[in-house]
């Protein structure tokens, strides 16, 4: 029995593109599910694509996604002899000819070239519509077609899984493979494109296509991979959010939907929120660390303190970068007061009374979450206000904002002294205006 062998073959053109990441993932899923091998092949036949930092980018992104490969990466820039031999062979067999310094493959003017695509069914091209394409440039380097056909053959690739934008090169690659003397063809599967709201292929110019930028915003690798798997494929049991190993066990190339899929950031973030909530509290506060540097107070954070308060915002965080901003009042000397929040709740007749009462009550009561809760509830009641209303001035005074983590837990963590200071400051500020 022959083992399944796949390859992910990106061209190094900067940060890994979402579409490429999805292609890498689907290749990986097939390899996992079939117990086969997955090879990473860098398509850098073009000299400017051989820059090391571009290639490092790919490695870094794939490593982050935890998409692993078998063996060392194959660099096409290091296999030029192989391609030259192939081209020379085609010339001497009369299958290719020199044209203006370049070498072109002679495409028959009759007949058809077709294959049975695993996701799209039979695809047929009439040879008369295919031009004599270039297999070696005038500068002596091999083109994509040549390198692709030679490598897939030489590396024993059994499944070619790639984007739909490559459908039209497939007949050319098939011809070259036959010209190489191959008796068999790999299984081809062309994945649907990932498109934007305008239903156009994601493009670098218009869309946020860099995998890296989602990572920087605090999308977890596991969530990204989970979401990507859902683009063009759906689990048979309707359970969408699940470990990638489970997806690999369920995934079938033939089940992939051939129509284009829109990249929906909202859904990605929803899934990311699921993954964040599934973390332990320790994992979550640890995961927040890289995003601290965006905050002015972030450089001097006490990590014990952070792990104490981070759980308060865990279920309120969809992407990690949203975490630290919700925690600022714990680490700032004085909270940054949101102007519109202040105007909304501090300009009522009750606000000063609530602050006044709380200032007195909080000075002596037992510093306990439940006691604080009950105390504020009673204060509100004495002014004929529901707790939801009564807590607002205190919340603004203590946290600076109208919304945030649970108030009593926050005050408890902050400590009596700080809370009293902030309430007093707000009270004074009110009196002054």
Partner RNA sequence: GCCCCCAUCGUCUAGCGGCCUAGGACACCGGCCUUUCACGCCGGCAGCACGGGUUCGAAUCCCGUUGGGGGUGCCA
- Region 249-268 residues binding RNA, contact defined as CB under 7 A: 255, 257-262, 264, 266-267
* 405 interacts with RNA by CB under 7 A: yes
Size of the site for RNA (CB under 7 A): 78
**Looking at beta carbons only, is 2 or 422 nearer to RNA?**
422
Site for RNA in 221-240 (CB under 7 A): 230-234, 236, 238, 240
**Looking at beta carbons only, is 92 or 122 nearer to RNA?**
122
* 205 interacts with RNA by CB under 7 A: no
Site for RNA in 15-54 (CB under 7 A): 43, 45-46, 49
**Looking at beta carbons only, is 141 or 307 nearer to RNA?**
141
Site for RNA in 99-118 (CB under 7 A): 99-102
Site for RNA in 160-189 (CB under 7 A): 164-169
Q: How far from the centroid of its chain's Cα atoms is residue 235's Cα? A: 20
**Looking at beta carbons only, is 137 or 429 nearer to RNA?**
137
**Looking at beta carbons only, is 45 or 158 nearer to RNA?**
45
**Looking at beta carbons only, is 124 or 181 nearer to RNA?**
124
**Looking at beta carbons only, is 101 or 156 nearer to RNA?**
101
Site for RNA in 303-322 (CB under 7 A): 315-316
* 270 interacts with RNA by CB under 7 A: yes
Considering only the stretches 121-129, 281-289, 342-350, 414-422, report the one whose residues sit in contact with RNA under the rule CB under 7 A: 121-129
**Looking at beta carbons only, is 49 or 430 nearer to RNA?**
49
* 217 interacts with RNA by CB under 7 A: no
* 300 interacts with RNA by CB under 7 A: no
According to DSSP, the residues that pair with 256 across neighbouring strands are: none
* 11 interacts with RNA by CB under 7 A: yes
Q: How far from the centroid of its chain's Cα atoms is residue 304's Cα? A: 30
Roughly how many angstroms between the first and final C-alpha of the chain, as a whole number? 84
Smallest gap from residue 90 Cβ to RNA (A): 15
* 416 interacts with RNA by CB under 7 A: no
* 408 interacts with RNA by CB under 7 A: yes
* CA dist., res. 417 & res. 362, Å (int): 10
Q: Residues 27, 118, 143, 375: which binds RNA (CB under 7 A)?
A: 143
Q: Per-residue x/- marks for RNA, 276-295, CB under 7 A?
A: -x------------------
* 361 interacts with RNA by CB under 7 A: no
């Amino acid at each position: 029995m022959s083992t399944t062998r796949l390859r992910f073959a990106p061209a190094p053109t900067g940060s890994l593109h979402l579409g490429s990441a999805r292609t890498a993932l689907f290749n990986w899923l097939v390899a996992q599910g079939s117990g086969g091998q997955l090879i990473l092949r860098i398509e850098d036949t073009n000299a400017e694509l051989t820059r090391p930092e571009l290639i490092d980018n790919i490695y870094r992104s794939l490593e982050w996604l935890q998409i692993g490969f078998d063996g060392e990466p194959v660099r096409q820039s290091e296999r030029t002899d192989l391609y030259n031999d192939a081209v020379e062979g085609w010339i001497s067999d009369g299958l290719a000819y020199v044209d203006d310094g370049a070498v072109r493959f002679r495409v028959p003017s009759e007949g058809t070239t077709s294959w049975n695509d695993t996701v799209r069914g039979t695809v047929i091209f009439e040879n008369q519509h295919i031009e004599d394409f270039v297999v070696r440039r005038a500068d002596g380097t091999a083109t994509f077609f040549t390198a692709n056909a030679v490598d897939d053959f030489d590396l024993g690739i059994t499944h070619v899984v790639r984007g739909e934008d490559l459908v039209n090169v497939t007949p050319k690659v098939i011809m070259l493979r036959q010209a190489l003397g191959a008796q068999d063809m790999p299984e081809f599967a062309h994945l649907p494109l990932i498109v934007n709201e305008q239903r156009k292929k994601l493009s670098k110019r218009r869309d946020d296509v860099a995998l890296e930028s989602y990572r920087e915003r605090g999308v977890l690798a596991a969530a990204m991979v989970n979401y990507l798997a859902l683009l063009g494929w759906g689990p048979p049991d309707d359970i969408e959010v699940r470990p990638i190993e489970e997806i690999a066990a369920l995934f079938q190339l033939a089940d992939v939907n051939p129509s284009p899929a829109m990249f929906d950031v909202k859904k990605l973030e929803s899934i990311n929120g699921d993954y964040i909530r599934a973390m332990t509290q320790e994992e979550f506060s640890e995961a927040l660390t890289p995003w601290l540097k965006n905050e002015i107070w972030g450089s001097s954070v006490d990590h014990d303190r952070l792990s104490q308060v981070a759980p308060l915002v865990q279920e309120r965080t969809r992407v990690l970068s949203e975490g630290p901003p919700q925690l600022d009042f714990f680490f700032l000397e004085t909270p940054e007061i949101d102007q519109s929040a202040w105007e909304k709740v501090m300009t009522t007749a009750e606000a000063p009374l609530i602050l006044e009462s709380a200032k007195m009550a909080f000075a002596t009561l037992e510093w306990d979450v439940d006691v604080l809760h009950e105390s504020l509830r009673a204060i509100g009641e004495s002014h004929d206000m529901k707790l939801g209303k009564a807590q607002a001035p205190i919340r603004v005074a203590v946290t600076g904002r109208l919304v945030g983590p649970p108030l009593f837990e926050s005050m408890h963590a902050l400590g009596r002294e700080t809370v009293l200071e902030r309430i007093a400051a707000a009270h004074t500020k009110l009196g002054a205006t």
